[in-house]
Amino acid sequence: MWLIGSIVMGSLFIGSTGCANIIPPSGGPRDSMPPVLIQAFPRDSATNYQGNRITLTFNEFVTIENANENVLVSPTQKNIPLIDYKLRNITIKLRDTLEPNTTYSINFGNAIKDVNEGNIFKNFTYVFSTGPQLDENTLDGRIILAETGKVDSTMLAVLHRNMADSAVSKDRPRYIARLDGKGNFNFQNLPSGRYNLFGISSSYNKTYDDTTKPFAFYGQTIDLDSNLQNLQLYAYAKAKAIDLKKAVAATATKDKQLRFSSNFQGNLFDYLDPFIITFNRPITVTDSSQILLTDEQSNPLNNFTINNDSLPNQFVVRYPWKANTPYKLIFLKDAFKDSTGLTISKNDTLKFTTKREEDYGSLKIRLNNIELSKNPVLQLIQNELIVLSEPITQRDWYKKLLKPGSYQVRILYDTNKNGKWDSGDFFTTKRQPELVTDLNITIDVRSNWDNEKEITLSSE
């Protein structure tokens, strides 16, 4: 027989991790099967339960991991249950007084694993009722991110019985459901009644307390007796405000000289990019009369601008650049000053040449079934950043010059025609966010090449 010397019991609050280390015998194929529940007390789906302790027994040694992130109790509890594990048993002690005639569910997410191989018993849900029967209403739907058309599977779908708008930011939700990898959620064992449905970021207090995190709301009160299903929610997040004081502090330097740099390497400028000048200190005074843009022969070019960007140490130079053309940008000594009056040490010149047209590719996209009445805007994406955004006025879209590379394609439906995506607003106007469709298409643009792509949008 295999002799087990000593086994350490893991005892934890939700969110803790046990420390049982059981060494399996060597040899044989790797165990790839998750633990199997062989007994529960009280039994799963029990009724008229009046206790506060539940014991689950499995066919092998188990552990609980990341319980704070994984275990969801509905209806939600004021006091976090205690969860212990030892050998093949998991024990749950409920610290709240159970409500009468109420169906409870405990979803373990990915918390239960076997000790030896770490195989997960995925999304196991244990159900019981304090009344004579289980509630059997269901509600399902999907949450997607309105700004990208993608899914954040870490979000939670939540139901509130309190109909006040403030409930989602002040109260714990009554019921919670996870999203799967496609953004789908499914509530089970719900009692009849009216609810407000939201999508919130997964956080311990389960309230909407940070507008920069994803949030979604269903636009009407849900009555489970009306058998609503396949509900669609669109999540949005407010942009984080720029803290100018922190931005100024971040640009501070111990360097005793005022220096600057450009956003291109060498002397070759990609003129499809903004021309950015960055200083090592915040700039408080700019004298544009002491900044000159000239051609290669030092002839002044007058129709250029240089303006402060969003950060106090950055400036953007704008000009209708021509391809394969040399330029000079001249800064006289007193063109820029910081708060102490410090200037650059001497007159300085940036010499550069714009790229050739042959360094870029053209792109023609034919968009079949595009709904022009919805004010579509084409978005080309690289590394999750929008590198091009242009309104679509006909099914054939053309761009003469585009950087070579791979682009993902999205369509923004620009309700207010301002050319950009706008988030929603729940508390004041109940406005849903503008929607973006991710076409799940990649377009490869080659330099010095006429690139073409035909896309047929879904007619749904």
Burial class of 418 by CB neighbour count within 10 A (0 to 12, 13 to 18, 19+) = exposed
Question: Angle at CA 87, nearest 5°, toward 94 and 74?
Answer: 25
Q: How far apart are CA 264 and CA 129, in angstroms?
A: 66
Contact at 8 Å (CB) between 397 and 353? no
Dig out the tokens for 257 from the structure. 């000289």
Using alpha carbons, select from 90, 108, 106, 89 the residue that is nearest to residue 98. 106
The string of pLDDT tens digits covering residues 231-250 is 999 999 988 877 666 766 66
Q: Cα–Cα distance between 240 and 332 in angstroms, integer?
A: 37
> What 3-state class would DSSP assign to 250?
helix
What's the rounded Cα separation, in Å, for the pair 370 and 76? 44
Give me the half-sphere count of Cα atoms (radius 13 Å) on the Cβ side of residue 332: 10
Is the pLDDT score of 175 beyond 90? yes
Nearest-angstrom CA–CA distance, 106 and 164: 27
Summarised one tens digit per residue, pLDDT across range 247-282 is 666 666 677 889 999 998 889 999 999 999 999 999
Q: The domain 10-129 is classified under which CATH number: 2.60.40.1220, 3.40.50.720, 3.40.50.10490, 3.30.300.30?
A: 2.60.40.1220
Convert the pLDDT of each residue in 111-168 to its tens digit: 999 998 999 999 899 999 999 999 999 999 999 999 999 999 999 999 999 999 999 9
The pLDDT value recorded for residue 28 is 57
Per-residue pLDDT reduced to its tens digit, 351-377: 999 999 999 999 999 999 999 999 999
Mean of the pLDDT values across residues 319-336? 96
**If you average pLDDT over residues 401-424, what whole number do you get?**
96
Give the C-alpha separation, 180 to 201, whole Å: 14
What is the structure's pLDDT at 410? Answer: 97
d(CA 5, CA 95): 34
Architecture of domain 137-235: Sandwich (2.60)
Q: What does pLDDT average to over the chain?
A: 90
**Which amino acid is residue 443, in one-letter code?**
I
* 3-state secondary structure (DSSP) of residue 184: strand
Looking at residue 251, what is its pLDDT?
A: 62
> What is the per-residue pLDDT across 69-113, written as a single tens digit (0 to 9) for each?
889 999 999 988 999 999 999 999 999 999 999 999 999 999 999
Counting residues of the chain whose pLDDT is more than 90, the rounded percentage is: 79
CATH topology agreement for domains 137-235 and 245-355 = yes
Q: Give the per-residue pLDDT at 460.
A: 60
What's domain 359-456's superfamily in CATH? Carboxypeptidase-like, regulatory domain (2.60.40.1120)
Q: Residue 110 — left, alpha, or beta (φ > 0 → left; ψ -120 to 50 → alpha)?
A: alpha
Q: Residues 45-67: what's their mean pLDDT? A: 95
**pLDDT band for position 14 (50/70/90)?**
very low
* CATH number of the structural domain 245-355: 2.60.40.3710
Which tokens is 31 given?
């165990």
Please state the domain extents for the chain: 10-129, 137-235, 245-355, 359-456
Alpha carbons 133 and 33: distance in angstroms, whole number: 33
Per the CB < 8 A criterion, the answer to whether 306 and 319 are in contact is: no
Quick one: residue 284, left, alpha or beta (phi over 0 = left, psi -120 to 50 = alpha)? Answer: alpha
